Amino acid sequence: MELTERRRDPRYLCLGQVKLIRLPGIVWTGRILDLSLGGCLIEIRSLVYVSRGSVVELTVQTRGTALRMLGKVTFGGRLPSGRIGISFTRLSSGGQRQLTELIAEMEAPVVRNRMSLLQRQRGSKRATDL
């Protein structure tokens, strides 16, 4: 069985703290595992139940940046892992700019690593052509 990628935006490993508020005011804390322009994956350290489609507010703190945004739960439930997928639904223009800058900062090492790998592959191919 082949899984189909449904995400519009690439996700990047992102380690930081998160505060999740299920509206109207139930609060949990945890950590963020990955981040994209459209959403994130978080892990809550305690047993939590949020159903798919629940509206949440979250504050993400990572790399010296704090972002506050609204989202909806794309997957969750009574998961033993405590992992919850969130799709962002509302972000201010300043928040969108901060998120874009943060993603660009996380993307830079990935691009450098890919370029380095391509250069090494080209170098080894030239060496075998000799």
Give me the chain's average pLDDT, please: 80
Structural domain includes residue 71:
yes
Structural domain includes residue 21:
yes
What's the total number of domains in the chain? 1
DSSP per-residue letters across 65-121: EEEEEEEEEEE-SS-TT-EEEEEEEE--HHHHHHHHHHHHHHHHHHHHHHHHHHHHH
DSSP per-residue letters across 28-65: EEEEEEEE-SSEEEEEESS-----TT-EEEEEEEETTE
Percent of the chain topping pLDDT 70: 74
Q: Say how many Å lie between the first and final Cα of the chain, rounded.
A: 43
For 90-129, write each residue's pLDDT tens digit: 888 998 999 999 888 887 765 555 566 566 666 655 444 4
Range of the domain at 58: 12-129
Structural domain includes residue 47:
yes
- Is residue 72's pLDDT more than 90? yes
Domain harbouring 87, CATH code: 2.40.10.220
For 33-55, write each residue's pLDDT tens digit: 999 999 999 998 877 778 889 99
For 5-40, write each residue's pLDDT tens digit: 566 788 888 889 999 998 777 889 999 999 999 999
Structural domain includes residue 1:
no
Taking the C-alpha atoms of residue 74 and residue 52, their distance in angstroms, rounded to an integer, is 5
Structural domain includes residue 6:
no
Structural domain includes residue 5:
no
